[in-house]
Amino acid sequence: MYNSHSITTKSTEMAILYGPIKFRGRLKGLRTYKLTGSDEIVVATSGSVSKGIRQNNRAYDRQHETNFEFTARTKLAKDIRNALGDWTQTIVNRYLHGHLTAKMNDIQLLDKESDYGHRNVYLSRYKDLLYQVVYYYYKPLSDIMQCPYTVVDEGDRKKVTVILRGVHPLKQIKAPVKATHFQIYLSIGCVKDYTYDAEWNFYGSYSLRGRRKNCETSSAWIPIDGGLMEDITLTVSLPADYVLADDETVVRAFGIVFGRMTAEVVPLQKDRGSIVFLGAV
């Protein structure tokens, strides 16, 4: 007889099989499967395993490690989305969080030095991968706002300037039917790598200490049917006394938000606008 370890609950009995038993067909009430990352075969009766067993039994260690790493990825994805600015929350791709989480997974896989379950997410090393994410939802900004703009790079990571020249709303802004006005937005924010802290057994980021920063600015509401305008210059920066660390990544976003005049101009609930990612530094 082969030795086995069994777990019994109200609805399920499980055992790990140690031996070359092979069978074809179906045994009533039994199912077999392999645990991820293990060569052991588990035989179980129909039913489900209790939450307490999944949390505490060593047979689920690999799943615990996978979930632990996923937490770091999804938290960093949330940090990136927040760093883009409050104005972006209603106009970004509705699947943006999932897309960012998937990209954080690609970055986490590049950490070959750490053990599985404790791999770090070094966004600061692979920030260019953020260009591969689609940020807009309805239409790309270039389809909506057809006036030229220039991103001014002065070599200061904490500051970004955008200049729009010769804006002619009636000819260059492709607004939705219900829109009467629009605003131009520019934002900047920073996020920190998620790295495993063995002493405290968690992934550390400055978001836990409330240090994450993001700032945004916008133009006034501009009528859609307006004529040729003077240049529009928007500049936004992180606080002057804020010191960026090497493991921080600065993200910038630029875009347009549409509104409709009632008693006052209010943002549209649909066809709200668009966003373009201005890069990470």
**pLDDT at residue 3, as a whole number:** 41
Q: What is the pLDDT of residue 7?
A: 42
Residue 154: its pLDDT value, please? 84
Cβ proximity of 274 and 265 under 8 Å: no
pLDDT in tens, 64-85: 778 888 889 999 999 999 999 9
Please report the pLDDT score of residue 169 as a whole number: 95
Task: Give DSSP secondary structure letters for 199-240.
Answer: TTTEEE-GGGGT---EEEEEPPPEETT------EEEEEE--T
Q: Does position 13 have pLDDT exceeding 70, yes or no? A: no
Say what the pLDDT of residue 41 is: 72
Q: Is residue 58 pLDDT above 80, yes or no?
A: no
Q: State the average pLDDT over residues 93-103.
A: 91
Q: What mean pLDDT is predicted for residues 203-210?
A: 60
Of residues 31 and 123, more confidently modeled: 123
Sign of CA dihedral 260, 265, 271, 276: positive
Distance CA 59, CA 38 (A): 9
Mean pLDDT value across residues 142-163: 92
Residue 239 has a CB neighbour count (10 Å cut-off) of 9
Please give the pLDDT value at position 207: 46
Residue 255 CA, distance from chain mean position = 18
pLDDT in tens, 252-280: 999 999 999 888 888 888 778 999 999 99
Q: DSSP H helical segments within the chain, as ranges?
A: 51-56, 61-83, 96-108, 141-144, 169-172
